[in-house]
């Protein structure tokens, strides 16, 4: 068997096309464009590159995006104050506010993320948005988790009644994805197993997966012998090996066993960005909602 390769770039382009039309409707109605503000702390190359692609995607659909850069030495209090000042719209309406992670080690990341008002939290990391998601009434869903679910739905991969195994339990990927796949409705109703570094006998668990998601950050973690023939394998991992971007899945061996596989790059990454843009438009619309 050779797996169908899930083309995240093509799906992201389709999503952008429909968002572009919705943004124009918003702009006609409210005489302004939705606006995203991204806070970039320090000069880590990977973070700068992610921020660049987010701003570029916003521009492609007609959303204004501004990047506020501050030095890596900025302390927690100053970052909290910056986020609070952005939320006062002093530099123009900030419908979506995003703080690019990771923050430098001396910064209290949760304190900074908690300062983002929940109605502008387009990353979906605020406890209020996490709580809404866990109660099955999502507002801003964390972008990568939303992107994985969208990818499954678009490819016609059934989730209802299937066993979804997620490796990685972070607040930004694994946990929200587990909630989405276990929720009632389209792209949900799965039986979900959430694995992590203390899970015993990972291969036995993953071999029982109809849908296997790797969100760890370890190149080559998922090998062909860990995959049930015909399963859908979604690779969230982003790792740099010898200057090349690779995921957590050993793509060449796993593609011979799986039914579907998402590549890195060109899989989940572009969908994460598309979901961020979608959340930004939603934030702008909710602001004007009666």
* 212 counts as binding ligand NDP under rule CB under 6 A: no
- Distance between CA atoms of 127 and 33, rounded to whole angstroms? 28
Q: Is 61 helix (H, G, I), strand (E, B) or coil?
A: helix
Tokens linked to 180: 């989405």
Choice between 34 and 270, CB closer to ligand NDP: 270
Give the per-residue contact string, 109-138, with ligand NDP (x = CB under 6 A; - = no): ------------------------------
Give 4's contacts (C-beta < 8 A, 6+ positions apart). Answer: 155, 259, 260, 261
The active-site residue, picked from 64, 95, 100, 121, is 100
Tokens linked to 143: 């972008």
> What residues between 55 and 114 interact with ligand NDP by CB under 6 A?
none
Closest distance between ligand NDP and the C-beta of residue 172, in Å? 5
Give 111's contacts (C-beta < 8 A, 6+ positions apart). Answer: 76, 80
* 236 counts as binding ligand NDP under rule CB under 6 A: yes
Closest distance between ligand NDP and the C-beta of residue 70, in Å? 22
| Backbone torsion region of residue 230, taken as left when φ is above 0, otherwise alpha when ψ lies between -120 and 50, otherwise beta | left
* 255 counts as binding ligand NDP under rule CB under 6 A: no
Please state the length of the chain: 290
Q: What is the largest CA-CA distance in the chain?
A: 57
* 272 counts as binding ligand NDP under rule CB under 6 A: yes
Q: Which residues bind ligand NDP (CB under 6 A)?
A: 144, 167-170, 172-174, 195-199, 202, 215-218, 236-239, 268-269, 272
**Residues annotated catalytic, as ranges:** 54, 100, 123
């Amino acid at each position: 068997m050779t797996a169908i390769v899930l083309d995240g770039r093509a799906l992201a382009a389709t999503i952008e096309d429909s968002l572009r039309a919705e943004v124009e409707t918003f702009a006609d109605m409210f005489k302004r464009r939705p606006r995203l503000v991204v806070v970039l702390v320090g000069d880590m190359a990977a973070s700068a590159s992610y921020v660049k692609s987010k701003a570029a995607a916003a521009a492609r659909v007609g959303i204004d995006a501004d990047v506020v850069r501050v030095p890596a030495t900025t302390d927690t209090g100053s970052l909290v104050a910056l986020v609070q000042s952005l939320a006062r719209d002093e530099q123009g309406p900030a419908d979506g506010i995003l703080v690019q992670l990771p923050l430098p080690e001396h910064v209290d990341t949760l304190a900074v993320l908690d300062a983002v008002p929940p109605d502008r939290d387009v990353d979906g990391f605020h406890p209020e948005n996490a709580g809404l998601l866990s109660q099955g009434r999502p507002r801003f869903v964390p972008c990568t988790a939303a992107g994985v679910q969208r990818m499954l739905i678009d490819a016609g991969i059934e989730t209802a009644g299937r066993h979804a195994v997620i490796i990685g339990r972070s607040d930004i990927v694994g946990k929200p994805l587990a909630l989405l796949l276990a929720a009632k409705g389209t792209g949900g109703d799965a039986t979900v197993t959430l694995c992590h570094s203390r899970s015993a006998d990972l291969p036995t668990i993953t071999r029982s997966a109809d849908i296997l998601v790797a969100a760890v950050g370890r190149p080559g973690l998922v090998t062909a012998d860990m995959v049930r023939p015909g399963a859908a394998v979604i690779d969230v991992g982003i790792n740099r090996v010898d200057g090349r971007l690779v995921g957590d899945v050993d793509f060449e061996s796993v593609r011979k066993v799986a039914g579907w596989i998402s590549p890195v790059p060109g899989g989940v990454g572009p969908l994460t960005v598309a979901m961020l843009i979608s959340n930004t438009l939603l934030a702008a619309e909710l602001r004007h909602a009666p």
